[in-house]
Structure 1
Amino acid sequence: MIIKPKLWQIPTPNQQVDEQLDEKIRLLQARLYQIFHKHQCVKVANSLAAEDVLMIDVLAKLGVSAQIFTLDTGRLNAETVSLFDEIKQRYPNLVFERYEPQAQAVASYISTHGENAFYDGVDLRKQCCFIRKVEPLGRALLGADAWLTGQRRQQSATRDALAFFEHDTLHQLAKYNPIYDWSEQQVWAYVLKFGLPYNALYEQGYPSIGCQPCTLPVKAGDDIRTGRWWWESKDSKECGLHQSSVHQIKQQDS
C-alpha cells in the first residue's frame, strides 16, 4: 500500500493572526501612500500569486492610479491563466497589461537547446527565464519610475534579507516590496477575510506557483519554494527578475 505524503495546505488563520491583521493593513496602506505620493508612474508586478492579489485589493480600495502588469511566459498552468481575467473583472477601475516573451527568442531557444532544456542545468534554465520573464519585464517597466512586488522575506532563503526599498540598477528605478515582512499566515488571513480570488492550484498543494514544467506540489512542513525548480539547489532558486537590485534602506514605519 502506497501512502501519499500530506501536501501543503492553505493556512487557517488563528486568533493571534486575525488580531494583528488590521495593524498590518494600516501599515501597508501607509507604505503605499508613501510610494504613490513620491513617484509619478508606479507599476505593480502581478504574478497572480496570493501576495499580489492582496496588494491589488488594497490599491483598489485606496483608489490610487496603479498600472498592473503580468508576465505571461507561455508555460503557465491553465489555472494561472484563467485567474488573470477573473482579477481584471473584479477590479475594473485598475489598468491591467499582459506581456509575453518575444516569439523569435523562444523559437531560437527551443530549436537550439530543446523545449525543456532548462532541466539540463542552471545556465539553460536561467536563459529560459531571461527570455520568458526578464526581457518582458524590461518592456513592462518602460516609463515607470517605481515598481512594486509581492516578495516576502519568508518565501525563500534567497529573500531572507529583503528590504522594503531597493534600487533597481538594471532598469534605473525605485523598487518596493511593501509586504516584505508579512507572514504566510497573514497573507492568507487577508485573502480569506475579504474573499479574494486565488489560484486553484493552492488547493492542490502548490504554495508557490511558477511555470507549469518548473513547479510541483510541496509536502506539508517543507519550505514553500521547494516545488520551484526542484532539481536545483535552494540557493539558485530565482528566475533573475529580482537580482538586478541592491539594498538601499530599511523601512521605518511610524
Structure 2
Amino acid sequence: MTATQAISDHAENICNLASKTAMHYFRGALGVEFKADESPVTQADKAVETEIRRYIKQHFPDHGILGEEHGREDGKDDRLWVIDPIDGTRSFLSGHPLFGFLLAHIVDGTPEFGAICMPVLNETFLGLKGIRATLNGQPIRTSPKRALADAILYINEGEKIYRDHPLVFDRLLQAGQTRRFAYDCYPHALLAAGHVDAVVDYDLQPYDFLAVSAVVEAAGGIMTDWQGQPLTLNSNGAVVSAANPELHAETLKTVSG
C-alpha cells in the first residue's frame, strides 16, 4: 500500500466528521461575518475546519495544512492537506443543500488524492490519482461524449465571468447541447460521475479546485486552467473540467476564442 492509499483510508472518517459538524449548523442560527473580499464565513466554516485540522494533526502530525479559514500551518513542504470546510458558504447560509466539504492531499505540489463530500445528499466522492474514483464506495467514470455540441455544459460563477470576460460568457451561452448555471463543487462531482460533460468555472482559490481536480482526473476527466495548464497552488482560479481530452480541448477553444 502506498502512502497516498493509506491516507485515502482516512477519508471516510474525515468526511463523516465534517458532515456531522456541518449538519449541526445547517438551517440553524448562524453567526455570519464577511471577509475583506466580502465573502461570507459562518460558525460552521470555522467549526468544520477546526475539527478536521485536529484530526489531521493527530494522525499526520508532520504534514502541512492549508485551510480557507485558518490559513497555512507548517509541516512537511512535500506533504500538504488542503481544506475547504464549507464549499458554498452562500448556499449553506441560505439553506440550499448543494454545499460541500473539500479535502485534498498534495504531494510535491501535485494533487494525489481528493474528496468531495456533500453532507445533505449523503454523497462522498473520492479520487486517488491513477487508481480509482468512487461515489459512496462504488466506481465512477466520466462521460464518453467527445463533442461539445452534444455535451451538458455547466457554467459556474456566471455573473463573474460576464463581468470580467463578457466575450467568453457570450461564447459559452452558445456552446453545448444543454447549459446550466451553477456554483461550487457539485457540478464537477457530477462530471466525475458521468452526468455532466464539461464545467467552466472562475475566480476560485486552491482549496476550491485542488480536491475537485483530483476526483475529476481519477474518474478519467481532465481539469486545467483556462490556458490548459495543470492546476497548482499558484493557479489563477479560472478552470475547465471535461470528461475527456477531446471535449476538454474543444471547451478550451470556446473559452479562448
TM range (shorter): under 0.3
Q: Which has the larger radius of gyration?
A: 1
- Which structure is richer in relative contact order (CA contacts within 8 A, separation 6 or more)? 1
TM-score normalised over the length of structure 2: 0.24
Question: Higher helix share goes to which structure?
Answer: 1
